[in-house]
Amino acid sequence: MIKKIIILLKIGRALAKSSTLDYFEEVYKPNILIRGFIKIFGFSSFRKKSLDSKSVGLRLANALKDLGPTFIKLGQFLGTRPDIVGKNLAIELQSLQDDLPPFDTSIAEKTIKEEIGNEKFEQIKNLTQPVAAASIAQVHFAKIENQEFAIKILRPGIEKKFNEELDSLMLFASIVEAILPKTRRLKLVEVVHLLKEITTIEMDLRFEASAASELKKNTLTDPKFLVPEINWDFTSRRVLTSQKVEGISIKDIDKIDKQNIDKKELAKNIIQSFLRQAVNDGFFHGDMHQGNLFVDNNGNIIPVDFGIMGRLDNDNRRYL
């Protein structure tokens, strides 16, 4: 309980420091008792004028980034839910990048050994320094039997950290809904509960590997869509090994133009690929933002990060 209170204080302090509380004053108009509570709890009070010229969305994004991985995930999730936070706030939260300082490669090597054993670890050659580091895991490149692979490794202790912070967020959401009844329409407790379900799945990389394999099987005959192959012999709960992607990040428009890739055709193929997955298969990549899509020199779309997938039953597919 003490840890929860400390985390709650951190949340209150971050929101107060970023002047985000101004927004909630305007929307929910809390009474004087609640204002006093927030002044003590967040070491600040609601202020009439923001100390920052940035919009509330960007200030909230910065506050969530300062709070750490769990809160970054929360912000990214809310960025996909304009029905909860409103269109403008959702758009600004989408700017919240899931990039954090990497952990040491020696820790990554230790994790791989513990997960797949020394014998298989010895087959991994030329393990690089981290090429990408996010809130839950980071990625290294390596060679196995002269083939190039990407190895995704969970951050040390991330499961415990997420569980503690999500429990505190649940308490925070319950308190907010109790003292500000108007916020119940935001379904804060439901949002945190859903986030916990999502991150629990993301903490076991075998689920992601399984999703990638299923998507690859479903899209083998789809034009212009290539899902990386999973190497199951080097995949476990905390380590995922997949075929290295050779391509350009779809957000790098300058490089795409230099390769003379037709952007209109690329855009059409992205939409059609998604619709084939959702309507034909009922199983689709649920996180197809620009950071998770690459394009090769032939214009093929290559998705990565299969931690969030979606399913539609037959009735919904017929409706669509």
* Residue 241, token pair as written in the block: 């090994």
Judge contact between 244 and 144, C-beta under 8 A. Answer: no
Q: Give every CB contact of residue 211 below 8 A, 6+ residues apart in sequence.
A: 306, 307, 309
Local structure of residue 153 (DSSP, 8 states): E
> Which among 22, 98, 287, 305 is annotated as catalytic?
287
* Residue 185, token pair as written in the block: 């329409």
287 in catalytic set = yes
Q: Give every CB contact of residue 236 below 8 A, 6+ residues apart in sequence.
A: 115, 116, 205, 206
| Separation CA 183–CA 145 (nearest Å) | 56
| Separation CA 29–CA 45 (nearest Å) | 13
CA distances, 316 to each of 134, 279, 284 (Å): 33, 8, 13
| Separation CA 162–CA 102 (nearest Å) | 17
Judge contact between 129 and 105, C-beta under 8 A. Answer: yes
The DSSP element (H or E) to which 144 belongs, if any, is: strand 137-144
| Separation CA 70–CA 66 (nearest Å) | 11
Q: Give every CB contact of residue 300 below 8 A, 6+ residues apart in sequence.
A: 224, 225, 226, 247
Q: Which residues are known to be catalytic? A: 287
